[in-house]
Structure 1
Amino acid sequence: MTSLFSLSPRALRDLLLAFFRPTNIDDTSRPVQRLPPAYSRTPRLPLELVLCIMEDASDGEGFEHAALLRQCALVCRDWSLPAQKLLFRTVHLVTEDACASFLSAVHPRTAAGRVLGESVTQLRVVLDYNQPKGLSETSFAHAVCACPNLLSLDLSVYGSTFPGKESTGVADVLRVRRSSPSFEEKTLECLKAGPRIRAFQLSNWSENHESVLRLFEVWPELISLALSGSTPTDAPGCWPPSQLRELRMNFQASPSIDFVQWLLQDSVLDVLELTRDVSPEVMDFLLDTQGQTLHSLALPACSTAVQVQTVQRCPDLRSLRTDQPRAAAVLFKPGYFPSGLRRIALALDHDGTFLQPLLDVVRLRRGELRGITLRMWNGAERNPHLSALKLVCAYHGIELEMIRDARVFRAAMRNGFDATDAWNRASLDH
């Protein structure tokens, strides 16, 4: 469902301040002055409603959302702590200075520090060994341990280069050849004493796979895992997560079958997301071992007979997404369209021919389709079947969402997936 407060941060701030008289924190101890008659009649929103508005406005990413919350924190004392808690829900750390400021703010010696530390549920960290003031692995471990309620960790690792060996603008294939030091044992022990995260997103842009993947031993009970960057070629010597339910892969090249077999040896997946094509051998293994249990599947494209067969080998699908336009029309024909599919996300350009058979799916009420999400490529508005799709979706009560941004498109599909997981998906998204 589209958010009620889908306004820009500036417009939302103006809406909030229209109902509240901004009060400088330093002035709250002064005697209350009688307001002019016209100003005293200004309606005042209940604080609970204001907090709901701030929380809804904090959904999403970008500097504008953070700027809005910082301004809300300065309005009055009643707003200050709730706004700060929302600000600290997702924390980004790249440098030593930023980490030192963060650790000072969440130090448990003060009540405010304990509250802010407990508010952090998602941590995004960059370990760049090529930067002179980059975050150290020791500070990274201390930051993780300072967040007792941490659920999700997004870690990017960049290796170091020798002077004169690399220039600005080199291709990704050269960037992944950087080396990075191995994690020290004391760092791993410190992380083991910290929170038990459930979602881990690892972008490894170095050649050191063995050390980075040892982090799986720190958090063996991971439920959601996203891997990107350089491609592991062999199965590492450590133990993989044993309870994975979600796996997302976006490697520069297809991972080896040995690595995938090692990674999923003890896991049963509900969600599989492939941003890039994998080798036929890896795809066959994934479908043979996980296809019967998959509820959500994302593929780079679904325009060939082989890719349509991939969808058919997942009989329990409730959610399907493809990132490239021109999906195969046969996918929507009787006998091919998954009967239990509830949400489908497709990319659309100006001549996407799949819309006509998709119209038939909606008109004839095939399956359990409840929502359609379209990623609008250039010229998609000129598609001759788009207007008809809008009308038939409105008539049959099927939600139709049109999005341009690729990241928003993917996130919308993840949020729309009706999972039966026992873990708190909403907390991971924040």
Structure 2
Amino acid sequence: MSNTACQCARRTTQAMKMHHPKRGDRRSVIVTPGYRSAPASRHHRRAPRPQGRNLDSHSGQRPSNMHTSPVCTSATVSPDLPAELISAIIEQLYYDEDGNPDRRALYACSLVSASWTGPAQRLLFHTARLHGPHALAFLHAIHPARPSGTRLGEHVRRLEVRIGTGPGSGSPTSPDATSLRPTEFLTLLDHCPRLYELILRAYNVHAFEEPLTRALGALASDPARTPLRALSLLRAGVQSPLLYQLLAVFPSVRFLRLGSEMAAPLPKSPASVALTELVLYRLPSPRILSWLLASSLSTLAILDLRDAPDVQLTEILAPHGPRLRSLRLLRYNARGAALIRLCPALEELVLFQLSTFLPLANLPQTLEHLSFRDFSWTSNPSLQTIIAAIETLPRLRLLTCDANAKQHDDFPALRRKCEKKGVALRTDALPIRTFEDAVPVKRFPRRKSISNFPLMNERVGAADQLMQS
């Protein structure tokens, strides 16, 4: 797209946003020809809300097209625009200020005119969170028997779904039901042939029955479908073999996130998945970790651990250390420091909690991005360890932290050190529970951005080439 078109898209996007003072009371208004917004009275005119922090492509923290909506006092936007410009406008509206899809804005865009409906629906259906009573309605919307069902199902790239019943899942017959039956789960996947990422929570589903497993395998082996690349199993029983079943069905998975403890007996064959990224909210046993990484020695590039590994787990991870490009640790302690020493080629190190006494010593000289958090519930008594580390990292170009760090007594000294060393300092790092886009990355930090969407579109294309490079 030309620079002129991009500037026009940005101006038009701003004209289409309305101020929303309270979360949950967002109003996305499409301004059509001849419409002029009613001016606020002198006594009731609201002050414009500060603009959201839109970072450049090198920051990688907040979504690059995230917005907070300013006051729209007067504007005229024609629905009869070139298709390229319509898509650019809608893409600018995709993320809200919290980094989530702004569905109200996207839905409003879909109602502007026929030429806007297609681009808006493409983004509306890109990510589907099937929580609540809308799960079955979504299934109905993408059913191939409906005139637009097949097309809408092909838009889906990311699915977040719950299966089973029990506490926390909602009763399937209640108005607030949140879970699908396993057979409905199969139907859902069948109707989403371009699915790239699956985020799954299982309630009281110990294992898939054999007929369902065979049906899932038939779907996964269909060459006309996009291979599933990212899998998050955030909830399952400790003794559940669901993970083993899913990885056997989807050996194409490259990005794996596990959110619960695992102690199920291992399959006879080692895992065949060649992982690019592994995220563990709970550390598995040494046998399970060895099984998970059996085919990933030459591919694992990103490792995210919410618990520091013990000596035995560190020994299992040691052969992967030389190839790791990014390491994320919840706490920096002696065990974390030992793991870092095994990773001489790190480009990114993310520490969610600094040590109160252990210095950041002997960090890899290859580091380009260093990140930390200053949580209010465990405030760091000093940032001197970060300040001292900056001096020792010749390739460091970016330091990121959360906004809370700006209140720290040492923050002015940290800013001065970054300015002196020519290191960019960002204070809007993503929250700890926010998922990054599960795509390959050329340069860290990885962005959460619509610019990653093309990597999720190809059946065998750009994403595969990046993972092999």
CA distance in 2 between counterparts of 1:388 and 1:53 reads 41
1:339 aligned residue: 365
Where relative contact order (Cα < 8 A, 6+ residues apart) is larger, the structure is: 2
Query: What SS does the aligned partner of 1:368 have?
Result: coil
* Matching residue of 1:292: 322
Task: Tell me by how many angstroms 1:345 deviates.
Answer: 1.1
CA spacing shift, 1:357–1:375, aligned 2, 3 Å: same
Deviation of the 1:272 alpha carbon: 0.7
Q: Which residue identity lines up with residue 373 of structure 1 in the other structure?
A: T
1:88 is matched with which residue? 125
Equivalent AA in structure 1 for residue 157 of structure 2: T
Q: Which amino acid aligns with 1:426?
A: N
Q: Which residue of 2 aligns with 1:150?
A: 195
- The yes-or-no answer on 1:69 pairing with 2:106 is yes
Q: Is the 8 A contact 2:234 2:260 kept in 1?
A: yes
Which amino acid is the alignment partner of residue 107 of structure 1? H
1:163-202 residue pairs with structure 2 within 5 A? 180-194=205-219, 195=225, 196-202=227-233
1:283 and 2:283 are equivalent in the alignment: no
Deviations 1:325-359 (A, max 9, x none): 4476632x5xx121111111102268746634544
CA drift of 1:69 comes to 1.1
Task: Please give the alpha-carbon distance, in whole angstroms, between the structure 2 residues aligned to 1:416 and 1:344.
Answer: 16
For residue 407 of structure 2, what is the aligned residue in structure 1?
Answer: 382
Q: CA RMSD in A?
A: 3.9
TM-score by length of 2: 0.69
Q: Deviation digits for residues 407-429 of structure 1, max 9, x if unmatched?
A: 477649999872799xx992478
Offset, 1:371: 1.4
Question: Residue type matched to 1:148 in 2?
Answer: P
Candidates 283, 298, 321, aligned match of 2:350? 321
Question: Does 1:403 pair with 2:428?
Answer: yes
Greater share of residues in strand? 1
**Distance change (3 Å), C-alpha of 1:309 and 1:413:** farther
Mapped to 2, the partners of 1:404 and 1:244 lie a distance apart of 25
Identity among equivalent pairs (%) = 25
Q: Distance in 2 between matches of 1:396 and 1:412?
A: 30
Is the contact between residue 123 and residue 152 of structure 1 (CA under 8 Å) also seen in structure 2?
yes
Counterpart secondary structure, 2:195:
coil
Cα distance in 1, alignment partners of residues 438 and 193 from structure 2 = 29
Residues 44 and 210 (structure 1 numbering): CA distance in 2 closer, same or farther, change over 3 Å?
A: closer
User: Which amino acid in 2 is paired with 1:298?
Assistant: R
Deviation, structure 1 residue 77: 2.0
The runs of 5 or more residues in structure 2 that have no matched partner are 1-9, 21-25, 36-74, 173-178, 220-224, 458-469
* Partner Cα separation in structure 2 for residue 291 and residue 376 of structure 1: 31
Instruction: Identify the range of structure 1 (290-299 vs 199-208) with the bigger mean alpha-carbon deviation.
Output: 199-208
How far does the alpha carbon of each residue in 1:265-299 deviate from its partner, in whole angstroms, 9 at most, with x for none? 1112111100123433112311x221111111011
- Give the deviation of 1:310 after TM superposition: 1.8
Deviates more, 1:262-271 or 1:100-109: 100-109
1:16-73 Cα distance to aligned partner (Å, 9 max, x none)? 8457667xxxxxxxxxxxxxxxxxx957595433422321322367887111211221
Deviations 1:87-140 (A, max 9, x none): 100112246x64442233223356632321111000111013224314111110
Q: Is the 8 A contact 1:145 1:193 kept in 2?
A: no
Counterpart position of 1:371: 398
> Contact (CA 8 Å) 2:27, 2:104: kept in 1 or not?
no
Q: CA deviation at 1:366?
A: 3.0
Are 1:265 and 2:265 matched, yes or no? no
Aligned-partner Cα distance in 2 for 1:400–1:319: 15
CA distance, structure 1, for counterparts of residue 304 and residue 214 of structure 2: 31
- What amino acid is the match of 2:189? V
- Asked if 1:246 corresponds to 2:277, the answer is yes
1:176-206 C-alpha deviation (Å, 9 max, x unpaired): xxxx343122212222233420110002332
Which whole-Å CA distance do the structure 1 matches of 2:85 and 2:424 have between them?
27
Q: SS of 1:83's equivalent?
A: helix
- Residue in 1 aligned with 2:3? none
Q: Deviations over 1:204-237 (max 9, x none)?
A: 3324422442111110121111111233254234
CA distance in 1, matches of 2:313, 2:392: 35
Provide the C-alpha distance between the structure 2 equivalents of 1:395 and 1:221, rounded to a whole number of angstroms.
Answer: 46
Q: State the Cα deviation string for residues 386-410 of structure 1 (Å, max 9, x = none).
A: 1233344356553322137624776
- Supply the distance in 2 between the matched residues of 1:413 and 1:394 (Cα, whole angstroms): 32
Match of 1:132 in 2: 171
Partners of 2:375 and 2:211 lie apart in 1 by 52
Aligned to 2:383: 355
Confirm or deny: 8 A CA contact 1:319 1:417 kept in the other structure: no
- Decide which moves more: 72-81 or 84-93: 72-81
TM-score using structure 1 length: 0.75
